Chain A
Amino acid sequence: MIPPVWQILFAYLRRRPWQAALGVFGIALGIAVVMAVQVAQKSARHSFEEAELTLAGTATDRILGARGHLPEDFFASLCLSEPVLQASAVLTGHVRTAGLRPQWLRVHGIDPVSAAGRINTTRTAGVGLPALIFGQAAGVVAPGLISSLGAVETPEVMLDGPGGEIEVRLHALREADAALKLPEDLVVMDIALAQDVLAAPGRLSHIDLVIPDDGNGAALRKRIRKQLAAGMELRDLRADRVARQGLGEAFETNLTALSLLSLMVGLFLVYNTANFLVVQRSFLFTRLRALGVRRREIFSAILVESAILGALGGAIGILLGLLLARFLLGLIAGTVGDFYYSVAITAPETSWTQIAALWSLAVITSLVAALPAAWRGTRGARLAVRGIAPASLSWHQPLLLAGALMTSGLLIHRLAPPRLWIDFAAMGLVLVAVGVLMSPLLPALGQVLARVLRGPRWWPERLGAANLARADNRSGVAAAALCLAAAVSLGMQLMTASFRDSVDRWLGQLLRADGYLSAPESLPAPEAEALLASLRARLREHPLLSETSSVLQRERSSSLGRIPVTAYELPERARSGFELLAGNPVVVWQRWEGEDVFLASESLARRHALEPGDAIDLETDTGTHSFTLAGIYRDYASERGTVAISRATSSRHWQETGYSGIGIYLRAEVHWSEVNAAVQELAGRDSGIRLRSRAEIRQLSLAIFDRTFAITRVLGVLALAVSLAGLAGALLGQLLERAREYSMLRALGCSRGDLARVLLCQTLLTGLLAALIALPTGAALSLFLVRVVNLHAFGWTMGLAFPPALFIGMFVSMLAAAALASLYPAVRLGRAAPAQSLREE
């Protein structure tokens, strides 16, 4: 049997379904945002890792050829010499589809028989095995590719590669294998077919190996290295993967920060709602106590009710969060596509553990929020109440708490080792301290304004201010949530603006050539480099051009591990493109070509604590050589960092003829269109060579930057929307609680407009105070993100940008949104009948 106190509490909520619904909605909204961000982040990461794993399988090592190719015979001799070795031969390349919607595809040729029967290193092989073995000229692709090609379920597609046009039947990865992700621009086929399509008979791109991580594995590696011919290399794939995961750190950090923001705002909202549900019934509890109900009985009933509402709100929030995650996933998938390759992230991925954790979070937060209110509310016994007495707020308690939180945050930042999560923890403590300050500041502002607004014309505003002056804790918490959401959103936007500004300036300085030539992205590196080399040879003496520059990017083994090494061939005027952060420019450029010196990008130098004068060893064609660091330069191209050397230095140690990119400098008064036409003519119309102007490259880079950080803006707006829903909820709750008071005002002759002014003043003042606190907090936060978090995470320093438009925009939108928050409560209030005030409870 349900205890009578429980029945009373439930009956109360049944009689006031709006209040119950408001409570559940508040909890649901908070949990939904947390759920959405976490699920979207997890799904994107998982899809990316799956795509990596599907391609590389569980391979631990890879044998690479000298010029990007290996002879097939080497694979045969390797298998004969090491009969138990798990090895898989792979040939990769690029083809173009012929037909209505031509597009470039990456070919991934494997040996399905050996892969499935003997070694099973490539998960893809297992998936498409029947099609690859028994189908003639068959390929396995991601389901999305079939539809993007505009074809039927298993279409015949003409692939146009170096080996000419070959018809291939494409099989989509089965739905049942959806756990295995294939990039959407990839076709997996039998290696023999790949050799035909790519005109590479007897050639392999690489051999994937699975080598155990023990003493036997080390011995095996040693034996394999002995078999390698000159130029061949045995590479540790796990180290590569670690480095590759690092590429996404900036993006991950961004999402993590926003996830924490949503968690903070969400929990504020849940706390506020659960707390309100208890506070508003204080009078009921005191009457029950007066009737002889024990405190323990009421207390347990409140906790049970809070748990039920938390569970209900949590469940709805989880469902809402899954819907919201679908939208966020689109944004995240776009960014992954920009940086890596197109991955189909079709559905939000979650686990029962995650759902259970969030659901528990909703219940626990509701319980924690209800506890203090329940403790206070059940203390005394009274039969009659003279009205709902506003909670008396003391100044010193919140001030002391805020001071303690802020000091802890600053101490952690100062004393703890520089770790990203510690930075976030310190930041979180300071932010919560700012939020806590809102509780005493809001009534103080209301008090001041209530005194200032003396004229009879301003009585609605005065009443609004007086409402705040005597506001209960609920308004303070709602204001704190709004303030925090706005501060973090602004901080992230300012950090992004600073970052964008720095990248823009860096691009402006770096890009010295008038145009840049690149080979089609789909071309394999050796072909692309060769194509650019032949083109540059013809461009050197072209009458329209005054100079050319070049760049060659390589991954090389060094004393720091595998690192990117870029060889630059720069004309004098392009050297100013390197903004030196350390090192004497005059000395650097004097030694640049003639000595074995290098420049380190800022992130590389910071990651490995390099300073000018330090030396690193690089594996060259002629053995290990030492190179001296001449200077450190600003570079935002990669978080891993880069070693920059001159092409002349590169040529002394490596036999390279190709280029990854070419820069061209126009003669005076030469028109861009003439050069473009000349380049296309020289390269051949079908070569796919692309010439982009400096402005175009800059625009393209910034467009990718904007796409990457689009989610920052969306989540910032979302957090603001949630906090505003909290503000509107607090106001609605107050209206429901004080319905008689407002209808009495109507009875005294207040018009609906007057009451709307009361509410508007209340929300505007809350918005104003939240904005006044949020703007400097956001600026300080951006400073922290730029100077501390970004530096620890990526090793980049950047200038600070404080665009006034962002501050003004945030200020205006906070006030506008606060005004909006009063809209629905005002409409509800307008409907209230004045006669209600004459009715007794």
Chain B
Amino acid sequence: MSYPPESRAVLANLDLDVVAGRFVAILGRSGSGKSTLLNLLGAMEPPQHGLLEVGGHDLVQLDDAARTLFRRRHLGFVFQSYNLIPVLNVHANVALPLALNGVADRHRVDELLEALDIEHLAQRYPETLSGGEQQRVAIARALVHGPMLVLADEPTGNLDQETSRQVIDLMKKVLTREGTTLIMATHSEEAAGAADEVFRLVGGALERMA
């Protein structure tokens, strides 16, 4: 697939197959197109050419409304700057994807908070948390509705080395338990080291590294 079209293409002739339940890391320099690739995989923008299928859903054929529903049901996101809703407490932030899908499941939220070791923060607001704590809340939010795929964009970009390692370990543990596929864009070789498969994005195409 390619995006955007013609000569300005950031991604060109990119080919990627990911087996369900795997943890895939995509390495690349700043501006190499990692975020663009995640946007495409995250059904936020359709590719201009090519085939894009996630869990059997042809994303190219989906219109905006259908892509919205697809994201709501099947995808989870973890961002570098956490992007928690500042006016909601931790519990409500995590429960948000469930609410979007019309589900109320306190038990599921509590279970994930416990798994990520942040159950004691449930009533706190984002601005009172440290970076590592906020990122763990973001991971819980990405997993709470049982998505088939979680996309993480530089999830450790704002964290120190120790916290980064803890977050990656936790994320891997919980994702493995949930059987969820994880595609993580990062420029950190160390973070990528935890992945099952590693690709490098160079010149708009992917090269398998491990």
How far in angstroms is the closest Cβ of chain A from B81? 6
Contact A748 to B86, CB < 8 A, known contacts A389-B127, A457-B102: no
| Chain A residues whose CB sits within 8 angstroms of the CB of B104 once the complex forms | 454-456
A interface footprint on B60-104 (CB within 8 Å = 1, 0 otherwise):
000001001111110101011111111110001000111111111
Q: Are A838 and B85 in contact (CB under 8 A)?
A: no
Which one of B68, B77, B87 has the highest number of Cβ atoms from chain A below 10 Å of its Cβ?
B87
Distance between Cα atoms of A741 and B86 in the complex (Å)? 9
In this assembly, does A79 line the interface, its C-beta being within 8 Å of a C-beta of chain B?
no
In this assembly, does A746 line the interface, its C-beta being within 8 Å of a C-beta of chain B?
yes
Distance between Cα atoms of A754 and B83 in the complex (Å)? 18
Which one of B35, B69, B75, B100 has the highest number of Cβ atoms from chain A below 10 Å of its Cβ?
B100
In this assembly, does B129 line the interface, its C-beta being within 8 Å of a C-beta of chain A?
yes
How far in angstroms is the closest Cβ of chain B from A778? 31
Which one of A462, A470, A748 has the highest number of Cβ atoms from chain B below 10 Å of its Cβ?
A748
In this assembly, does B1 line the interface, its C-beta being within 8 Å of a C-beta of chain A?
no
In this assembly, does B181 line the interface, its C-beta being within 8 Å of a C-beta of chain A?
no
How far in angstroms is the closest Cβ of chain B from A691? 70
Binds B, one of A123-131, A366-374, A559-567, A829-837: A829-837
Interface size on B, residues (CB 8 A): 46
In this assembly, does B134 line the interface, its C-beta being within 8 Å of a C-beta of chain A?
yes
Distance between Cα atoms of A675 and B96 in the complex (Å)? 80
Kindly identify which residue among A387, A459, A749, A833 contacts B68, using a CB–CB cutoff of 8 Å.
A749
Contact A744 to B79, CB < 8 A, known contacts A749-B71, A749-B100, A754-B100: yes
In this assembly, does A740 line the interface, its C-beta being within 8 Å of a C-beta of chain B?
yes
In this assembly, does B146 line the interface, its C-beta being within 8 Å of a C-beta of chain A?
no
In this assembly, does A214 line the interface, its C-beta being within 8 Å of a C-beta of chain B?
no
In this assembly, does A466 line the interface, its C-beta being within 8 Å of a C-beta of chain B?
yes
| Chain B residues whose CB sits within 8 angstroms of the CB of A384 once the complex forms | 158
Contact A386 to B101, CB < 8 A, known contacts A748-B96, A751-B65, A837-B79: no
A interface footprint on B116-160 (CB within 8 Å = 1, 0 otherwise):
000000000111010100100000010000000000011001100
Q: Which of chain B's residues has its CB closest to A468's CB?
A: B87
| Chain A residues whose CB sits within 8 angstroms of the CB of B33 once the complex forms | none
Contact A747 to B126, CB < 8 A, known contacts A387-B86, A456-B98, A456-B99: no
Contact A386 to B126, CB < 8 A, known contacts A467-B87, A749-B73, A754-B100: yes
Q: Are B79 and A466 in contact (CB under 8 A)?
A: no
| Chain B residues whose CB sits within 8 angstroms of the CB of A746 once the complex forms | 68
Distance between Cα atoms of A740 and B97 in the complex (Å)? 17
Distance between Cα atoms of A837 and B141 in the complex (Å)? 15
How far in angstroms is the closest Cβ of chain B from A755? 11
| Chain B residues whose CB sits within 8 angstroms of the CB of A177 once the complex forms | none
| Chain B residues whose CB sits within 8 angstroms of the CB of A469 once the complex forms | 87
Q: Which of chain A's residues has its CB closest to B86's CB?
A: A387
Q: Are B87 and A463 in contact (CB under 8 A)?
A: yes
With A462-B99, A744-B77 known, 14 other A-B pairs at CB within 8 A are: A386-B131, A387-B84, A387-B127, A388-B86, A459-B96, A741-B86, A749-B71, A750-B68, A751-B69, A835-B44, A837-B79, A837-B83, A838-B42, A840-B157
Taking Cβ atoms with an 8 Å cutoff, the residues of B that contact A are 35, 38-39, 42, 44-45, 65, 68-73, 75, 77, 79-88, 92, 96-104, 125-127, 129, 131, 134, 141, 153-154, 157-158
21 A-B pairs, CB-CB below 8 angstroms? Answer: A387-B86, A387-B126, A387-B127, A454-B104, A455-B104, A456-B104, A462-B99, A469-B87, A470-B87, A740-B83, A744-B77, A747-B77, A748-B71, A751-B65, A751-B68, A833-B44, A833-B45, A837-B83, A838-B39, A838-B153, A840-B154
